[in-house]
Amino acid sequence: MLDVSLSKVTRPLLRDEAYDRIRHAIVDGTLPPGAPLRDADLADQLGLSKAPVRQALLRLAEDGLVDSKPQSYTRVSEVLTADVADAREIVRVLHEFTARQAALRCGPADVAAMRAANGRFSEAIEAGDIPGAVEADDELHAIPVRLAGNAAIAATLDRYTPLLRRLEHVRFGSALGRNSVDRHTKLIDALEAHDPDTAVSVISTIWTDLLEDR
């Protein structure tokens, strides 16, 4: 037997489950901007003790999805904040990198999967199904990320993209959603043609316009 001293296993899964569920509710608008977040109420709704909920709220505050002032308030952050603008810059640059890598590695099956995802995205936009549009958009952009094969980039995007997903829930009901169908098509065409410069230009426009389109 290995003679080492290990700390006892804690219960991180409860904390992570609380984090995932609260984050999802914030991103899809179930918990709207400015909504108060009381750990006792959330713990009761989730069937958990207050400890994992408090840990989840601390992590969500680090992510920029929750505003908190000790002894004063804990609430859902606003959709447009400095954190969102900062996250957009990080996400844009990382997607530019993955698009460049994907253009060198993209195969017919990857192209077909992206076109299918864009088809679902278009149908969801036309039907006013914003959650469906966001899900299809996630599926489409996940393919270049996978092709880039960089776990650090994938983990960073997982942390910061939710700040922008809230914005997409608002914007996909506007012209931005319809414009995104065409931009997705241009991105896919560039990847299929193994044209990294065009792919990077298109993906940059997609993420830049998320904050600028009205």
pTM of the entire predicted model: 0.76
- Tens digits of residue pLDDT in 121-143: 999 999 989 889 989 999 999 99
Task: Quote the mean pLDDT of the chain.
Answer: 87
Q: What is the pLDDT of residues 61-75, one digit of tens each?
A: 988 899 988 888 899
| Domains in the chain, CATH or no CATH each | 12-76 (1.10.10.10), 82-212 (1.20.120.530)
Torsion of CA 150, 156, 158, 162, to 10 degrees: -150
Q: What is the pLDDT of residues 153-196, one digit of tens each?
A: 999 998 888 888 887 777 776 666 778 899 999 999 999 999 99
Answer with the residue of higher pLDDT: 42 or 12.
Answer: 42
Instruction: Decide if pLDDT at 102 tops 60.
Output: yes
Say if residue 132 is exposed, middle or buried (CB neighbours under 10 Å; 0-12, 13-18, 19+).
middle
